Amino acid sequence: MIRLLFIGHLWPEPASSAAGYRTLALLKALSRHYQVYFACAAEQTEYCADLQAMNIQSHTITLNDSGFDQFIKRLKPEIVFYDRFISEEQFAPRVHEYCPNAINILDTQDLHFLRRARQTAVNKNQPVNMYSEDAVREIAAILRCDLSLIISSHEMQLLTDTFNISSELLHYCPFMLDTDNLGKQHMPAYDQREHFVMIGNFLHPPNWDAVQWSYRAIWPQIKKKLPEAQLHIYGAYPSEKVMQLNKPEQGFIIKGRADNALTTLSQYRVNLAPLRFGAGLKGKIVDGFLVKTPCVTTPIGQEGISDNQNWGGLVADTSDNNRQLADYAIKLYRDQSIWEQCSTNTTEIVEKQFNYREHADKLLNRLSTLQTDIQAHRNNNFYGRILHHNLYRSQYYMSKWIEEKNRA
């Protein structure tokens, strides 16, 4: 059986973040055709997925350490996945040294340079500048790899149109969700739900910004028109700074980690996602759609989920229009007919965009095609070969220098 090594930036925590359950879905799909090994240098937590139950062997590795060289030489993987470009920068030089024929796949999760450029633009009140050092690093990693998984249709277009990346190096792979029973399960109706909900890992900067913006500018407007309503905010890893915003007397309530995101979201009438920056797909919105909970969000929140379909909620004109967000939240909360139509749209979006079987099959077929003639594929990516030659050596020797420094 073909050996596939997945090098994780973090151990997958499907209940903590969208990145966690996306990684787990990928591992599930890959396990159908490959013997999968998962390696990670981060510390495990109690929320990590049980990879052993999926017949996936897990290994703890160390950054800037020759122990990884011995590990990769023993394993001899034929395919290597890198979780985010920073994992590719760290480990690909060593993989290339000892397994030069291994197929290299980058899972971008989202385009980090796009998210960071948008964050800088919001923080400094300036236009978005994507031509940053982050962009140079991430796009270099995309060019070095044989294939990169792109989670959003918007990001696919950005890479091909703005940065002239060949579509031969990219593969559209959004969330892969089990939609077989979607719409068949009973979900609470409009009049069985109450209050607003926000959900998202507090360690993720777009989520924390959204909480602060809601507290400062959006929720006071909603509360004034809907005095009985509350906003319940869920998320993994709430810090003391987050808990300082817990104001039950104002209906602004920090709940912390949700035991089950889908069950939690199904109890609320409106999912509030006031995102001013971000990239990729927003798991908090898609999770709500799985349980027919409509969402009020920004163009950043909608991006890549439903670009050409009826939205499962309402979308503000811009990513900084707090008055319109508040007005839309109030409208969706009060108007049952609009709510019911938006709730119906959520199911249609998920079924069309995120079918597990469809996207898993496409990914496995693409990998099979690569395996057929990887050398011809690489010959068509000459810029990638140049980056292999020039950058990998510098990265490799920098890593070795750090290792020797640590040893000393």
Numbers of helices and strands, H then E, in the chain: 18, 13
What DSSP string runs through 194-258?
-SEEEE--TTSHHHHHHHHHIIIIIHHHHHHH-TT--EEEE-SS--HHHHTT-BGGGTEEEEES-
Mean pLDDT estimate for the chain: 92
| H helical segments located in 9-108 | 18-30, 67-75, 85-98
84 to 323, 353, 408: CA distances (angstroms)? 36, 23, 30
Q: Which residue has the higher pLDDT, 185 or 38?
A: 38
- Retrieve residue 130's tokens: 């994507």
The CATH code of the domain at 190-353 is 3.40.50.2000
The CATH code of the domain at 3-176+356-407 is 3.40.50.2000
Does the structure show a pLDDT above 90 at 29? yes
pLDDT digits (tens, 9 = 90+) for 71-127: 999 999 999 999 999 999 999 999 999 999 999 999 999 999 999 999 999 999 999
pLDDT digits (tens, 9 = 90+) for 221-280: 999 999 999 999 999 999 999 999 999 999 999 999 998 999 999 999 999 999 999 999
d(CA 400, CA 90): 11
Max CA separation in the chain (angstroms):
69
CA-wise closest residue to 300 among 392, 205, 202, 228: 205
Contact 47, 258 (CB under 8 A): no
pTM beyond 0.85: the answer is yes
Same CATH topology for 3-176+356-407 and 190-353: the answer is yes
Does the structure show a pLDDT above 70 at 398? no
* Segments making up each domain of the chain, as ranges: 3-176+356-407, 190-353
Position 296 scores a pLDDT of 98
